[in-house]
A and B are shown apart, each in its own frame.
Chain A
Amino acid sequence: MLSIQDLTFRYRRGREELFDDLSYFFEPGKVTVVTGASGRGKSTLLYVLGLMLTPLRGTVTLDGQDVSAAPDAERSRIRAESIGFVFQDSVLDATRTILDSVIEPALYAGWKQGAAQEQGWELLDQMGVGHRADHKPGEISGGQAQRVAVCRSLVTDPAVVLADEPTGNLDQANAEGVLNALSAAAGLGEIARTVVIATHDPFVIEFADEVLAL
């Protein structure tokens, strides 16, 4: 379970404080969409939730533990095991195959290569891109690439999936496919998963169970 308490963030070189002691509980099994005008810190909130940025004040709690001030190695471990990321432009390794890209977080989480590949194949098949597993990212479409990114975010069966403008570069048909995949991800696996999507696209809100407006 993911929540924030009295959260405020400020960039090291910035003066503006974001979130203003924000508290929120992200309900497992639901898709929470974070919206707001440009510059309000939608992506920044995702990176704070993803333990890549440290808040100025307040805490990020994951499964009852304050993880916002954990040492870097611990935060990396949590990211690898419990948090999946989907970036706006998929950010796949152009030199590796789709399957290699999907299993990357599992390898950082200490999985054996074989087990990670098995899980990767399963997810790619579920997302309808299994036939592209041996292709390079340059050989698939933007929509397929983003579905691959969703597979990557789910490969370790994380408790939390964070998606930063996942449909920003997609047409509506492809965006719908990716959002359906993320909605399904909320209920996929052994436990109900928390899915948080940062977006300014009103179309995405149609897929939201909860909306957090900044």
Chain B
Amino acid sequence: MRLPNLLREAANTAWATKVPSALIVLLVAVMCAATLATVGRTAAAEAQLYERLDSAGARVLTVTEPSHDSYELINAATIGQTGALSSTERALGTITAIDVVNGEIGEGGERVPAWGIYGNLENVVTMEEGRWPQPGEALVSAEAMDRLNLDAPVGWVEQATSNPMEDWAIVGTFSPRDPFGDYTAGIVYPVSPDQPAATTLHVVLHDANHAGPAQSAVLQLLDPPATDHLTVQSPMSMAQLQDELTGDFTTFGRTLLLGVLAGGAFLVAIVVLADVLVRRKDLGRRRALGASRGVIVGLVLLRTMVPALLGAGAGVAGGLAMARSFEAQPPWEFTAGTAVLAVLAACVFAVIPAIYAATRDPVAVLRTP
């Protein structure tokens, strides 16, 4: 039998037997909707959590050298070498933050923190207004501008001491880049080239999973005189947590998905079996008129697939609507995969009733009133 004729026969049969077809539509729709509303929600939650765990803040390796016992390990050379590592997205050094006040007001003014950046300032902040600062100049955040009583990003700030050693001219405003959100409270300035070394090295990695090898590489570059000379804060535990959570989510989602699909497909198989039993005379006639067992199996499977496709469409629409109300939209790959899996599961479970139909004795069926 030609495939177009088989498809036409299957569609006609599905249309002619409306009750089982409607039941298959309903079951597959429920399978898809339930999967998207439960497993899809889990998948969306997993995606959100993964996104959070993969944010720059969760990918920062921080190495601190005590300023009172400095070997000047975090210097221009080591920061540059760290930035050149394949696992590194950005690398920069900072010196210990100090308090500054509006230079016009003096020591009595409100204090804001000032961070000296060793390396490219563009790695830390985005300039909003003005120009990039030179040594002796600084950028101020909008929040700090308010606290310093500055109407515009002009003027100057000085160390908040009775005998200030340094001051900086304000030449613009900034907003901090992730993961340096704390800097929104103060000002940033480029460290003078006279400053021999930074106290803290911040390494933003491409992936938290690279934390282990990256930490080893950075420590090799810095080459501390003693293992406890440097303090290291690593995202390794975050990467481990990410792996564990991903594993848990995957196992849970897979179990739930299999349960929903297997349960729904089992019910589809019962509907198809009942349909085959009711239509035994029709199938017997087809066999007597020359339909092979393969044609009968194909006919039953395609007759199941036609309403299953309709059900998958309806179920996806319903499931997405439910997922939207939970504010956890599953990824499109998951949605498409669910529809395909639901149709496949329905068809696979319909194989047994299809084979049953194909192997009935047509003579016994036709001669039984």
Contacts and interface: CB of A to CB of B under 8 A. Distances in A.
B9 A107 contact: yes
Interface stretch (B61-69, B127-135, B139-147, B289-297): B289-297
B12 A52 contact: no
B16 A95 contact: yes
A79 interface: yes
Interface string B345-369: 0000000000000000011001100
Contacts, number: 72
A93 B287 contact: no
Interface string A47-62: 1001011000000000
Contact of A107 (B1, B285, B288): B1
Given A112-B2, A113-B8, A76 B293 contact: yes
Contact of B286 (A77, A104, A110): A104
Contacts of A77: 290, 292
B293 A107 contact: no
Interface string A111-130: 11100000000000000000
A73 B16 CA distance: 27
B10 to A, nearest CB: 12
A113 B4 contact: yes
Contacts of B285: 87, 91, 93
If over half of B's interface residues share one DSSP class (helix, strand or loop), that class is named, otherwise mixed; here it is helix
B289 A110 contact: no
B363 A47 contact: yes
Interface in B1-50: 1-2, 4-5, 8-9, 12-13, 16-17
B16 to A, nearest CB: 4
Contacts of A52: 287-288, 362-363
A124 to B, nearest CB: 17
B289 A105 contact: yes
Nearest to B282: A93
A40 interface: no
Contacts of B287: 52, 76
B292 A85 contact: no
A108 B288 CA distance: 11
Contacts of A80: 289-291
B281 interface: yes
Contact of B293 (A53, A72, A81): A72
A152 interface: yes
Given A93-B282, A95-B16, A96-B12, A108 B363 contact: no
B289 A73 contact: no
B16 A76 contact: no
A93 B285 CA distance: 9
Contacts of A144: none
Contacts of A96: 12, 16
B293 A110 contact: no
A214 interface: no
B12 A95 contact: yes
Q: Max chain A CB contacts within 10 Å: which of B281, B282, B285, B286?
A: B285
Nearest to B8: A113
Interface in A71-100: 72-73, 76-77, 79-81, 83, 85, 87, 91, 93, 95-96, 100
Contacts of A194: none
A193 to B, nearest CB: 17
B290 A109 contact: yes
Given A73-B294, A76-B287, A76-B292, A91 B1 contact: no
B5 A85 contact: no
B366 A87 contact: yes
Contact of A104 (B13, B289, B292, B363): B289
A96 B363 CA distance: 22
Q: Which 3 A-B pairs have the closest CB atoms?
A: A80-B290, A95-B16, A76-B292
Given A93-B285, A104-B289, 15 more contacts: A43-B367, A47-B363, A52-B362, A53-B363, A73-B293, A76-B287, A76-B290, A76-B293, A76-B295, A81-B290, A91-B281, A96-B12, A96-B16, A104-B286, A113-B5
11 contacts: A72-B292, A76-B291, A76-B295, A79-B288, A80-B290, A87-B288, A87-B366, A93-B282, A93-B285, A107-B9, A112-B2
Interface of A: 43, 47, 50, 52-53, 72-73, 76-77, 79-81, 83, 85, 87, 91, 93, 95-96, 100, 104-105, 107-113, 152
